[in-house]
Amino acid sequence: TYRAMLFCIKNGILSSKNATLVVSGGVASNQYIRKGLQTLADVNDFAFLCPPPRLCTDNGVMIAWNGIERLRAGLGILHRTDGIRYEPKAPLGIDISKRVEEDSIKVPKLKKLQW
């Protein structure tokens, strides 16, 4: 996550004025991971948005948010659904993981989280 954030900053993928890290689903109910992601957001001047843990017990919120983002971007939106073969997966945006890897960004060490 940290490397991805640095990549987005370096390559101007996210606006520096409103960069936001959104976390939902089961991972967002883990308080240790949640605190770590909040720290990454703070270090990189990102806003951090996360539903209350009681709403993070499954991926329903994340799947719905993905649908909203895809609708806004006009990605994968079909107006006629006749004859569509459904698959139990939902890609999240465009896969740029190879570009991130090729950029070889060094991730600075952060202090260990304190409880």
**Is residue 96 in a domain?**
no
Q: Is the model's pLDDT at 114 over the cut of 70? A: no
The CA distances from residue 106 to 7, 42, 57, in Å, are 10, 18, 33
**Is residue 101 in a domain?**
no
Residue the block writes with tokens 């079909």: 78
**Is residue 13 in a domain?**
yes
22-70 pLDDT tens trace: 988 788 888 889 999 999 999 899 999 998 888 887 677 778 888 888 8
**Is residue 46 in a domain?**
yes
Domains identified in the chain, total number: 1
82-97 pLDDT tens trace: 777 777 776 777 888 8
Beta carbons within 8 Å of 20's beta carbon, 6+ residues apart: 46, 47, 48, 49
- Rounded Cα distance between 99 and 92, Å, is 16
Token output for 13? 């993928």
The residue range of the domain holding 81 is 2-91
**Is residue 111 in a domain?**
no
**Is residue 97 in a domain?**
no
Q: Is the model's pLDDT at 98 over the cut of 90? A: yes
Higher pLDDT, 72 or 61: 72
Closest alpha carbon to 59 in 104, 87, 90: 90
**Is residue 14 in a domain?**
yes
**Is residue 102 in a domain?**
no
pTM of structure: 0.65
